[in-house]
Amino acid sequence: MSTEIKAFSATGNQMVAEAMRQAEPDVMAAYPITPQTTIVESFAKFVADGRVHTEYVTVESEHSALSACVGASAAGARVATATASQGLALMWEELHITAGMRLPIVMANANRALAAPINIHCDHSDIMGARDTGWIIMFAETAQEAYDNTVVSFKVAEDARVQLPVLTTLDGFTTSHAMERCEMEDDDTVRAFVGDYVAAHPLLDTDNPVGCGSYALGDCYMKTHLACRRANTGALSVIEEYGKAWEAICGRPFNVVDTWGTEDADYVVVVLGSAAGNARHIARELCAQGRRVGVVRPKVFRPFPAAAVAAACKTAKAVAVMDRSDSIGAAHGPLGAEVISALHEAGLTMPVKNYIFGLGGQDLTNELMTSIFDTLEDVAAGTASPALSYLGFEE
């Protein structure tokens, strides 16, 4: 562990930019979009100041940004970029291509609502659109964690057992722009941890020519997808391995599922990202009053750590899952469906109440957070419906 860590104030976006600077990608192709812009803006300054050797490609759209990243990664480069919201949506076809071609690109996403109506504030509508693409997806709660996750992302993405792109996400404004107490390791420590990326079969190796993105009919197409699924699922243990290795260096805990008070909790809330702080704040107050409540925060959404989430819920009489995006037309939100599936697989049958909250940056107040724990008691008692509801908009 480093002995001379000095804490300082920084935003989540600054911390992501610093992590990317320390990992020093060979290529970054990016397009600015709120609330991600200050990541690539900061990085552009690192390039202009000669602090990194990165080839910085300014492009005309996010579709082009990720396309350029795909080409650079296939050529053998370490590649990073960042986006948000409509930008991530515009990257949709390349998201699938990146994962299908198994290109270890690291991309930060400052989670933001999608139009319409147009809205620049935090929710998870953008990132949940990427949940079925094959990318590994991590959610940071804090600026500090956005830094740690981004450092670990390079290691995970480029590992031969994984070879998949990673979306390292932080909540728009709440985490991307708020100043927090942060620490970072020195450049040499991070470079030694991340190491050099040597692509196994780069396009630019003209002595060993390869073809990328070839056409495949059903048989090969299915096998390629299955291999991608296995790599993504198997990445959970790799994330844990490198997370723990990073924890040993920096001294900050790294758990794929963060839990608070779940050992003997009667009521458990599952939530992603920055809202976990709100949930823990109320859980602490309720525990001080003698109630047994807990909070579960998966740090990794893809691959989904189903067993660990179910284990953290096992004592609960009722579980609330807080989704910061909706899957309109489905019975549950994206996280709700995952958790219910995980509990079912684990043979757990307690009722689960799925809340849609915080869309478009809607505040999660202490009163609303408290109402979730209160409602869970009614759900467990059978006096309230576990059916999905929009938090604060129940009728």
Partner 1 sequence: MKLITPNIEDFNSWTVDQMPTGFVMPGGLSEHYITGGWRSMRPVWNAEACTNCMLCWISCPDSSIIVQDGKMVGIDYDHCKGCGVCVHECRFGCLELIREDQADAAKEA
The number of residues in the chain equals: 395
Q: Residue 117: how many CB atoms within 10 A of its CB?
A: 7
> Using the rule CB under 8 A, which residue among 3, 49, 117, 214 binds partner 1?
214
> Using the rule CB under 8 A, which residue among 204, 216, 307, 331 binds partner 1?
216
First-to-final CA distance of the chain: 53
> Using the rule CB under 8 A, which residue among 181, 230, 281, 344 binds partner 1?
230
Q: Does 211 bind partner 1 (CB under 8 A)?
A: yes
Q: Does 227 bind partner 1 (CB under 8 A)?
A: yes
To partner 1, the closest distance from the beta carbon of 228 in angstroms equals 8
Distance, in Å, from the CA atom of 246 to the CA atom of 232, rounded to the nearest integer, reads 20
Q: Which of residues 125-144 bind partner 1 (CB under 8 A)?
A: none
Distance, in Å, from the CA atom of 158 to the CA atom of 235, rounded to the nearest integer, reads 11
Query: What's the token pair of residue 7?
Result: 């804490």
Query: What's the token pair of residue 25?
Result: 């990608």
Tell me which residue of 27, 21, 31, 87 sits closest to 58, measured CA to CA.
31
Question: With contacts defined by CB under 8 A, how many residues of the chain interact with partner 1?
Answer: 22
Q: Which of residues 54-113 bind partner 1 (CB under 8 A)?
A: 100-103
- The span of 1-9, 21-29, 207-215, 276-284 binding partner 1 (CB under 8 A) equals 207-215
Q: Does 204 bind partner 1 (CB under 8 A)?
A: no
Q: Does 195 bind partner 1 (CB under 8 A)?
A: no
To partner 1, the closest distance from the beta carbon of 345 in angstroms equals 23
- The span of 57-65, 204-212, 282-290, 338-346 binding partner 1 (CB under 8 A) equals 204-212
Q: Which is nearer to partner 1, 216 or 330 (CB)?
A: 216
Distance, in Å, from the CA atom of 60 to the CA atom of 58, rounded to the nearest integer, reads 7
Q: Does 196 bind partner 1 (CB under 8 A)?
A: no
Q: Does 200 bind partner 1 (CB under 8 A)?
A: yes
User: 384 by DSSP, 3-state: which?
Assistant: coil
The torsion angle over the Cα atoms of residues 37, 91, 362 and 138, rounded to 10 degrees, is -90
Distance, in Å, from the CA atom of 232 to the CA atom of 146, rounded to the nearest integer, reads 21
Specify the residue for token string 């859980």: 283
Q: Does 224 bind partner 1 (CB under 8 A)?
A: yes
Q: Does 7 bind partner 1 (CB under 8 A)?
A: no
Q: Which is nearer to partner 1, 89 or 103 (CB)?
A: 103
Residue 282: φ, ψ to 5°: -70, -40
Do 280 and 260 form a contact (C-beta atoms < 8 A)? yes
Q: Does 223 bind partner 1 (CB under 8 A)?
A: yes
Residue 271: φ, ψ to 5°: -155, 150
- The span of 26-34, 167-175, 218-226, 266-274 binding partner 1 (CB under 8 A) equals 218-226
Query: Which residues are at the interface with partner 1 (CB under 8 A)?
Result: 100-103, 160, 163, 200-201, 209-214, 216, 219-220, 223-224, 226-227, 230
